[in-house]
Amino acid sequence: MLKALQIEPEKCTGCLQCEMACSYRAEGVFNPAKSRIKIFTFHEEGRFVPYTCTQCTEAWCMHACPVEAIVYNEATGSKDVLADKCVGCKVCTIACPFGTVNYDQDSGVVYKCDLCQGDPECSKACPTEAITYVDADHTGLDRMRAHAAKSAGLDAQQH
């Protein structure tokens, strides 16, 4: 059973614990500038929104790569960058419709979320469960449950 990151922006406080956990695992430093997951602040609306790669099935980045440096990870469903194969051509960054694969000037290769090989640090670091790692087939389950409770006249927060 594959799992996926489930993001619930309404729970996010913008603290960037996820960005630090991500960059620390990937780069060995606490560095939001190198995080694979990003928190966007919409100041005027007072909203914080985490965003990262959703691991497309037909991944544009993977298909666009001319040197097959982005590969499908069967164990996790993630599309992983092979840094030693990547030539830094950046075609994948153009191909990705969501902007979640990016180039790193320091290393000369691209980087993206690889679900930490099935144990995502961002979800473990999040203090408010705005980022959770759940059954990939049921990322909507909590919201369905809340609406189901509401439709039955129950207090959604209690269920």
Partner 1 sequence: MAWTQKVLRINLTDGSIKQEPLNMEWARDYLGQRGLATKYLTEEIDPKCDPLGPDNKFIMTTGPLTGTMSSTGGRYSVVTKSPLTGCVACSNSGGFLGAEMKAAGWDMIIFEGKSPQPVYLYLENEKAELLPADEIMGTSVWAADEWIHKKHQDPLIRVATIGRAAEKGNLYAGVINDLHRAAGRSGVGTVMASKNLKAVAIRGTRGVGNIKDPARFMQAVSDGKKVLHDNAVTGQGLPKYGTQVLMNVINEVGAMPTRNMREVQFEGASNISGEAMHEPRESDGKPNLVTNAGCFGCTIACGRISTIDQGHFSVENKPEYWDASGGLEYEAAWALGSDTGIDDLDALTYVQFLCNEDGIDPITYGATLAAAMEMYEMGAIDKETTGGIELRFGNAEALCRVTELTCRGEGFGIDMGLGSRRLCEKYGHPELSMTVKGQEFPAYDPRGVQGMGLGYATSNRGACHLRGYTVASEIMGIPEKTDPLTTDGKPELVKAFQDMTAAVDSSGLCVFTTFAWTLEDIAPQIDAACEGDWSPDKLLEVGERIWNLERDFNIAAGMTAKDDTLPKRLLKDAAKTGPATGRVNDLDQMLPKYYEVRGWTADGVPTSETRKRFGLKALSA
List residues binding partner 1 (CB under 8 A).
13-17, 20-21, 23-24, 27-34, 43-48, 125, 127-128
User: Cα(117)–Cα(77) distance, rounded to whole angstroms?
Assistant: 9
- Of the pair 33, 154, the CB lying nearest partner 1 is at 33
Buried b (16+ CB within 10 A) or exposed e, 51-63: ebbebeeebbbbe
Q: How many CB atoms lie within 10 A of CB 111?
A: 18
User: Cα(69)–Cα(107) distance, rounded to whole angstroms?
Assistant: 15
Minimum distance from residue 124 beta carbon to partner 1 (Å): 9
- Of the pair 13, 117, the CB lying nearest partner 1 is at 13
Minimum distance from residue 74 beta carbon to partner 1 (Å): 29
- Of the pair 30, 103, the CB lying nearest partner 1 is at 30
Minimum distance from residue 79 beta carbon to partner 1 (Å): 25
Give the number of residues written for the chain.
Answer: 159
- Of the pair 57, 105, the CB lying nearest partner 1 is at 105
